[in-house]
Amino acid sequence: MQKNPSKKYQPFQHAPKLPDRQWPSRVLTAAPRWCSVDLRDGNQALAVPMNVSQKLELFQTLVKIGFKEIEVGFPSASNTEFAFNRLLIEKGHAPDDVWLQVLVQAREDLIERTVESLVGAKKVIIHMYNSTSPAQRRVVFGKSKDEIKAIAVKGAQMIKDRLHRLKGAEVMLQYSPESFSMTEVEYAKEISEAVMDVWQPTPQRKMILNLPDTVEVAMPNVYADQIEWICRNIKNRDSLIISLHTHNDRCTGVAATELGMLAGADRVEGTLFGNGERTGNLDIVTVALNLYMHGIDPKLDFSNLASIIDVYERSTGMTIPPRQPYAGELVFTAFSGSHQDAIKKGLAEREKNSNHWDVPYLTIDPTDIGREYREVIRVNSQSGKGGVAYLLESEFGIELPKDMQREFGPIANDAVDKLGREVSGAELKAMFWQEYVERSSPWSLKGFETESKNGVVNCRAQLLRAGQPVHFSGEGNGPLAALVHGISQVGVARFEISNYSEHALSSGEGAAAIAYIQVKSADGKSRWGAGVDTNIELASVKAVLSALNRLG
């Protein structure tokens, strides 16, 4: 890296002057028009582009999601692209309400081939573009502003001259001054208006003016200023659909799009999960679900996001990063103990109150996009008692008392730390069983009977102590009081039961119940125990013995 980067790089030079900008005080209230460019812009960025069958499966998935505008390809680029257009049209794969968008440069041979690919279609968007930035004008084309504008005007006229060949089709025209975000806004306006003069859009028959952030070279607020400047200064704004197409070079594609919408844009182009050249296109899933989390219907259905991911990964060969917003494997997980505890409490509150979603650390309800609560919290060595308790309860119905959570949480974390990895719910349950339920040394139960007379309970117990039989009787105002009295007669130091709770286990444990008991010795030392049995009285006795075994 340069020690003085200003000698090699300079700040962006073409930000518009907009001192009275309006977009910062606006609020989004509705979804934009969406256009998926997965089959074109996304496809061209794949190491191995999709074949026709893969493109068809992804196209059908996009339709199912709810896209009404889909850029299906660059039909003049290859036979595969052309054949895919014809397949959609001739085999009736395109629903009547879905616009098929195609991309073409402002060149006559490419325009001719593109129009040929669309014959017989019902709804068509012809998207023409040419590059307009100073670097493109100088380095790629070696042409002046007027010469670049002449290319756009000639291309627009060539498309207009061929529209009669699409008889029966509803046609919408779209123009992109490619590299708009790097172009002087005055010149972008000039060249766009020159194309408008050819196509003559009206409020009843609008054209799409797409303003791409082809390469991110400035902060997203600059892009918003550019969009607002165009919306406020271009002629016949009511005859235009202003469209955004952002890339992610500075990792602000989503931010640039959202600010561009505030600035007045009507339409958004992007791809599922942001697939695209370099660092990718806009991630439409993220923007749509960002709207959703604010109570705005995005008009796209991601209720079964897992199935969409499956088609996407199978069609493109790409994978979803584990931290990808909304879609990643880990985005609804929490490893931090404090986060886990907050989520657990938030979900518990949610069950009691059906008010607006307000669960800490979860921006939306995972079930809305086909995820499950059991995926929300995982346990590793960084987890706290809240996460441990939540996983045991959500997967196995084991409802640990608060004080017992404080005791078992560190025990579980120590065990996980030794493993050096995340553990499953089943592994966590096994740890709990080993620590509490299966504790059989020195005390284990062989038999326990009670009878009640005049409010006094008498017990007869048969236990093993270090493998040796021990028999005793005791009495009290209940079975556990009788047990405590009796066992104190056979050499066990005095103790008391300080906490007790029990409940039925989940269906996976049949008709079993689990009891949790905390005992406290005369010197103030306390331990929890747990016992499981189909008889709640025996489960309680086992829990006392478990606690004594752990008390030492």
Categorize the per-residue pLDDT at 506 as very low, low, confident or very high, splitting at 50, 70 and 90.
Answer: low
- The reported pLDDT for the residue numbered 420 is 84
CA–CA separation, 346 and 349 (whole Å):
5
Identify the residue with better confidence: 533 or 421.
533
Q: Is the confidence at residue 376, as pLDDT, over 60?
A: no
- The reported pLDDT for the residue numbered 299 is 98
Q: Is the confidence at residue 374, as pLDDT, over 70?
A: no
Q: Is the confidence at residue 473, as pLDDT, over 90?
A: yes
26-316 against 443-551: fold identical: no
The CATH number that domain 26-316 falls under is: 3.20.20.70
Answer for the pair 93, 58: CB distance below 8 angstroms, yes or no.
no
Average the pLDDT over each of 3-12, 390-399, 440-449 and give the range with the smallest value.
390-399
Identify the residue with better confidence: 386 or 487.
487
- Edge to edge, the sheet with strand 468-476 lists 443-453, 456-465, 468-476
332-353: average pLDDT: 86
CA–CA separation, 549 and 133 (whole Å):
78
Categorize the per-residue pLDDT at 62 as very low, low, confident or very high, splitting at 50, 70 and 90.
Answer: very high
Q: Is the confidence at residue 254, as pLDDT, over 80?
A: yes
Answer for the pair 233, 268: CB distance below 8 angstroms, yes or no.
no
Domain ranges for the chain: 26-316, 337-434, 443-551
Q: Is the confidence at residue 507, as pLDDT, over 60?
A: no
Q: Residue 11: CB partners within 8 Å, gap ≥ 6? A: none
CA–CA separation, 486 and 458 (whole Å):
9
CA–CA separation, 79 and 95 (whole Å):
23
* DSSP letter for each residue of 360-385: TT-SS-GGGGT--GGGT--B-TT--H
What are 515-544's pLDDT values in tens digits?
999 999 988 899 999 999 999 999 999 999
- The reported pLDDT for the residue numbered 418 is 86
Q: Is the confidence at residue 424, as pLDDT, over 90?
A: no
CA–CA separation, 62 and 348 (whole Å):
36
What would the 3-class secondary structure string for 326-349 be? CCCCCCCCCCCHHHHHHHHHHHHH
Q: Residue 18: CB partners within 8 Å, gap ≥ 6? A: 225, 228, 229
Beta bridge pairs of residue 465: 443, 468
Average the pLDDT over each of 160-174, 425-439, 505-519, 521-535 and give the range with the smallest value.
505-519
Q: What is the DSSP letter of 39?
A: I
339-368: average pLDDT: 90
Q: What is the DSSP letter of 508?
A: G
What are 20-34's pLDDT values in tens digits?
999 999 999 999 999
β-pairing, 495-504 vs 513-521, is antiparallel
218-240: average pLDDT: 98
Answer for the pair 199, 163: CB distance below 8 angstroms, yes or no.
no
Cα end-to-end span (Å), the chain: 63
Please state the pTM of the whole predicted model. Answer: 0.80
The CATH number that domain 443-551 falls under is: 3.30.160.270
Q: Which of 3, 5, 14 is nearest to 217 (CA)?
A: 14
What are 277-304's pLDDT values in tens digits?
999 999 999 999 999 999 999 999 999 9
